[in-house]
């Protein structure tokens, strides 16, 4: 008689976003019994609520913006308009085409059992899902992160948008106050300002995108102010909000002075926190509000339970979560364990121009007391800036005293593609001399990489 399995499943994956999806598929294809549990929409944040829909909307916005300014190339575009419901339909089509959003059937077709409900640990090998008890030999926790509402008096009563809820807006608000000048805050600022919204951005730090190099925040502030009519409030702290007739009043302090502004809507984009509310203590898993603790193999303090993606609390890149998901699956299936290698992981912001960076920033180098050489190439140095009539941007490369590339930032059209030459350099320890000596095609934006490399060598 066949021995009855001790557990319902070999693996239960909690979360169907980037941190969970790859691991579930890889393990199921190895013939294991797998279940995946999703508390919200299958596919997780990236395809449903962040990367895919926002980039689809931003693509439409950049296209509209380029066309509107086409008169300098001899194009008649003064009568150009837009239909926002149609733009939203395009966004929905992009999400559908990507196929990762709302993709419950995909898992079922792979022979993976699916459950659409929050999970809660009862013991190290047992969870409850929608009043059902499920057991597994192994678990991967990939519950991701969620937007945090800042503790601002009056905010809950005033009402506010999140980067998720603004995707459902019937039309762009006439005016919008964005709390938070990080990647998502500036992307939404540019999106809404392009479609005519009067935008205010409040950021506690001294510049927008405070985790990027200083030149990025300085240039982005100038472009948003001059080209988009946005009001940038750096070193500003929102102290209260309140309803004010049909509008909303935001009071903030800046430079010791208290001021207020009236807007139609408020958007909160101040940061995300790992989603760790799933009875982890019942499974003897160590965690803090900053995330689940794992070793170099992504094992939690309960060795049969792994964690991947934003729930670890260290960085919020979809490509990093996918890497961790594949590593966790490998370590579950193999005795020989591996560690995720984050060397050369790019960071992207899809404003116009794109912002892409990799490796150490100048601030990182200063904190580590590293001797560096820096090569900075403004876009107006290369011929492509003339043929495209686009001069606002640069390539910056940071190298150590021997010329080995430590970090780089590209602020240019197609920066998200250009950066990969520099991620490869960091991943494989190449020098600025290697890059400078590599032929770069004439009339490509990448010529600026060669110029920056030669200036750092």
**Which parts of the chain have pLDDT scores under 50?**
none
CA-based torsion, 130, 309, 340, 301: positive or negative: negative
CATH number at residue 251: 3.50.50.60
Q: Which of 254, 270, 286 is the last residue of a domain?
A: 270
Do the domain assignments include residue 419? yes
Do the domain assignments include residue 25? yes
Tell whether 116 and 259 lie within a shared domain.
Answer: no
Report pLDDT digits (tens) over 40-98: 999 999 999 999 999 999 999 999 999 999 999 999 987 899 999 999 999 999 999 99
In terms of phi and psi (left: phi > 0; alpha: psi -120 to 50; beta: otherwise), the region of 74 is left
| Residue 129 and residue 16 in contact, taking contact as beta carbons nearer than 8 Å | no
Tell whether 177 and 247 lie within a shared domain.
Answer: yes
Tell whether 258 and 301 lie within a shared domain.
Answer: no
Which residue intervals of 242-388 are DSSP H helices?
318-333, 362-367, 384-387
Do the domain assignments include residue 2? no
Tell whether 137 and 285 lie within a shared domain.
Answer: yes
Tell whether 35 and 137 lie within a shared domain.
Answer: yes
Tell whether 32 and 83 lie within a shared domain.
Answer: no
Q: Which of 270, 287, 318 is the last residue of a domain?
A: 270
295-300 LR contacts (CB < 8 Å, sep 24+):
296/339, 297/327, 297/331, 297/337, 297/338, 297/339, 298/324, 298/327, 298/328, 298/331, 298/340, 299/331, 300/141
CA nearest neighbour of 123 among 282, 10, 7, 276: 282
Report d(CA 160, CA 244) in Å as an integer.
14
Report pLDDT digits (tens) over 97-126: 998 888 999 999 999 999 999 999 999 999
Name residue 147's beta-bridge partners: 272
Tell whether 78 and 205 lie within a shared domain.
Answer: no
Tell whether 391 and 449 lie within a shared domain.
Answer: yes
DSSP per position, 270-312: S-EEE--TTTGGGGT--EETTEE---TTSB-SSTTEEE-GGGG
Tell whether 305 and 378 lie within a shared domain.
Answer: no
414-420 LR contacts (CB < 8 Å, sep 24+):
414/354, 414/445, 415/348, 415/353, 415/354, 415/355, 415/356, 416/346, 416/348, 416/350, 416/354, 416/356, 418/356, 418/445, 418/446, 418/449, 419/346, 419/348, 419/356, 419/357, 419/358, 420/346
Number of structural domains the chain divides into:
4
Containing domain of residue 304, as a range?
A: 9-44+101-146+273-333
Do the domain assignments include residue 342? no
Do the domain assignments include residue 169? yes
pLDDT of residue 452: 98
Report d(CA 25, CA 152) in Å as an integer.
42
Tell whether 25 and 107 lie within a shared domain.
Answer: yes
Do the domain assignments include residue 338? no
Tell whether 130 and 160 lie within a shared domain.
Answer: no
Do the domain assignments include residue 400? yes
Q: Which of 217, 241, 270 is the last residue of a domain?
A: 270
Tell whether 224 and 300 lie within a shared domain.
Answer: no
Do the domain assignments include residue 125? yes
pLDDT of residue 100: 86
For the chain, give me the number of helices (H) and strands (E)? 14, 23
- Cα–Cα distances in Å, from 30 out to 15, 27, 137, 163? 20, 5, 15, 37
pLDDT of residue 78: 78
């Amino acid at each position: 008689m066949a021995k009855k399995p001790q557990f319902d499943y070999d693996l239960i994956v909690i979360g169907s976003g980037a941190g969970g999806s790859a691991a579930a598929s890889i393990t199921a294809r190895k013939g294991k019994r797998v279940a995946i549990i999703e508390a919200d929409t299958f596919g997780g944040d990236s395809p449903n609520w962040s990367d895919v829909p926002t980039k689809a909307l931003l693509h439409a916005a950049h296209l509209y913006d380029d066309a509107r300014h086409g008169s300098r190339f001899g194009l008649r575009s003064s009568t150009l308009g837009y239909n926002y419901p149609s733009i939203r339909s395009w966004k929905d089509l992009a999400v559908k085409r990507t196929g990762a959003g709302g993709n419950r059937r995909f898992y079922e077709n792979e022979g993976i059992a699916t459950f659409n409900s929050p999970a809660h640990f009862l013991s190290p090998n047992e969870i409850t899902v929608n009043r059902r008890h499920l057991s597994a030999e192994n678990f991967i926790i990939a519950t991701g992160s969620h937007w945090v509402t800042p503790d601002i008096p009056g905010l809950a009563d005033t009402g506010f948008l999140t980067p998720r809820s603004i995707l459902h807006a019937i039309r762009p608000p006439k005016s919008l106050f964005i709390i938070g000048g990080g990647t998502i805050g500036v992307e939404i600022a540019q999106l809404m300002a392009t479609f005519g919204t009067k935008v205010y951005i409040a950021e506690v730090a001294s510049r927008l995108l405070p985790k990027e190099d200083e030149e990025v925040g300085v240039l982005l502030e100038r472009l948003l102010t001059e080209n988009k009519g946005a009001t940038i409030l750096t070193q500003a702290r929102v102290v209260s909000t309140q309803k004010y007739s049909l509008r909303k009043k935001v009071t903030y302090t800046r430079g010791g002075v208290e001021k207020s502004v009236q807007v139609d809507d408020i958007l909160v984009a101040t940061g995300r926190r790992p989603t760790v509310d799933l009875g982890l203590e019942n499974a003897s898993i160590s965690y803090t509000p900053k995330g689940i603790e794992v070793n170099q193999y992504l094992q939690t303090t309960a060795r049969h339970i792994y964690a991947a993606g934003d729930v670890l609390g260290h960085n919020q890149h979809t490509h990093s979560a996918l890497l961790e998901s594949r590593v966790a699956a490998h370590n579950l299936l193999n005795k020989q364990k591996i560690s995720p290698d984050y060397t050369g992981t790019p960071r992207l912001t899809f404003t116009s121009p794109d912002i892409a960076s990799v490796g150490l920033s100048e601030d990182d180098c200063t904190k580590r007391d590293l001797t560096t050489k820096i090569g900075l190439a403004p876009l107006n140095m290369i011929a492509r800036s003339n043929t495209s009539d686009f001069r606002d941007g640069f390539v910056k490369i940071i190298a150590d005293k021997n010329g080995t590339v430590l970090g780089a930032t590209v602020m240019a059209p197609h920066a998200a593609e250009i950066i990969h030459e520099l991620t490869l350099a960091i991943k494989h320890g190449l020098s600025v001399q290697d890059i400078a000596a590599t032929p770069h095609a004439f009339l490509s934006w990448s010529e600026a990489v060669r110029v920056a490399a030669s200036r750092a060598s």
